[in-house]
Amino acid sequence: MQNRLTTISVHTVLLVYTAIALLPMLLIVSNAFKSRRAIFADPLALPGPDTFSLKGFSKVLAVSDFGLYFVNSLTVTLVTLALVLLFAAMAAWALSEYRFRGRLVLGVLFAVGIMVPIRLGTVSILELMVALDLTNTLTALILVYTAQGLPLAIFILAEFIAQIPKDLKDAARCDGVGEVHIFFSIVVPLIRPAIATVAIFVMVPIWNDLWFPLILSPGEGTQTITLGVQQFVGQYVTDWNAVLAALTLAIVPVLALYLVLSRQLVRGLTAGAVK
């Protein structure tokens, strides 16, 4: 009886938390398909025959260069994701597999990189990008986001790689398999759940970020979705139909990535909890 009550209590808490987490997203999506008057009249109501409207979507696609913003965000996110996963997996492999001088210092530096927000160095980063002539380029964003995502990614992947049986890797070495082949053929497939977990954790902050696009790439040709949406936000009047429609369209890639990696993500989170 006590175990059943505990189970019910846990599931109740999780359901309440899920509802709180999903409610803002549901409000954004539902209001995106409503007229401006309906949004202000009853923002919690679902769109109906009298309130349904696609005016926000049509305005976003017609007035703004949403396609360019979407491509910019997608390019920055995917390239950064590829670089972070590759470099983080390699660094995690080196830190967990080999013993060398300075290994502990590197681990401490990566831990500090997790604790210290990268935005504290915005002025120095901007000066560096100006010196390198990388302002108003997607390269600047990719470099900054790669540096931002590496510490946490290395920390997570190193813990998973350390759990791989050493006998498996030693057996491959005895058969004459090189270290690079061991890494890509044995280690990487075994840490796919961790890679999926890291991919979600890295992608979401990059896709939703407004700070660095505003500072480093505010030009017309390099704006991301979060920055491009700001043109509909005025000092006195805000076009909420267009803002909510743009945010709804921006949710799609993150949702698609989660659906693709959901199974691996759950496995990664569960394995991390057990360890």
What is the per-residue pLDDT for 50?
Answer: 83
Non-local CB neighbours of 128 within 8 Å, separated by 6+ positions: none
Per-residue pLDDT tens digits for 191-236 = 888 888 888 888 888 988 889 999 998 888 888 888 888 777 765 5
* pLDDT-based confidence at residue 264 (cuts at 50, 70, 90): low
- Distance in angstroms (rounded) separating the CA atoms of residues 108 and 112: 6
Q: Map tokens 């799609």 to a residue.
A: 252
Share of the chain above pLDDT 70, in %: 92
Segments of the chain assigned to CATH 1.10.3720.10: 65-274
Backbone φ/ψ region at 252: left (φ over 0), alpha (ψ -120 to 50), beta: alpha
Question: Span 110-124, mean pLDDT?
Answer: 86
Q: How many CB atoms lie within 10 A of CB 206?
A: 23
Non-local CB neighbours of 157 within 8 Å, separated by 6+ positions: 88, 89, 92, 191, 194, 195, 198
Burial (Cβ within 10 Å: 0-12, 13-18, ≥19) of residue 74:
middle
Buried b (16+ CB within 10 A) or exposed e, 235-272: eeeebbbbbbbbbbbbeebeeebeeebeebbeebeebe
The tokens for 228 are 């491009």
What is the per-residue pLDDT for 266?
Answer: 59
What is the per-residue pLDDT for 141?
Answer: 94
Question: Span 175-196, mean pLDDT?
Answer: 83
What is the per-residue pLDDT for 208?
Answer: 86
Cα→Cα distances 22→16, 19, 28, 199, 260, Å: 10, 5, 10, 21, 19
pTM of the predicted model over 0.85: no
Query: Is pLDDT above 60 for 256?
Result: yes
* pLDDT-based confidence at residue 272 (cuts at 50, 70, 90): very low
| Homologous superfamily assigned to 65-274 | MetI-like (1.10.3720.10)
Strands (E), 1-159: none
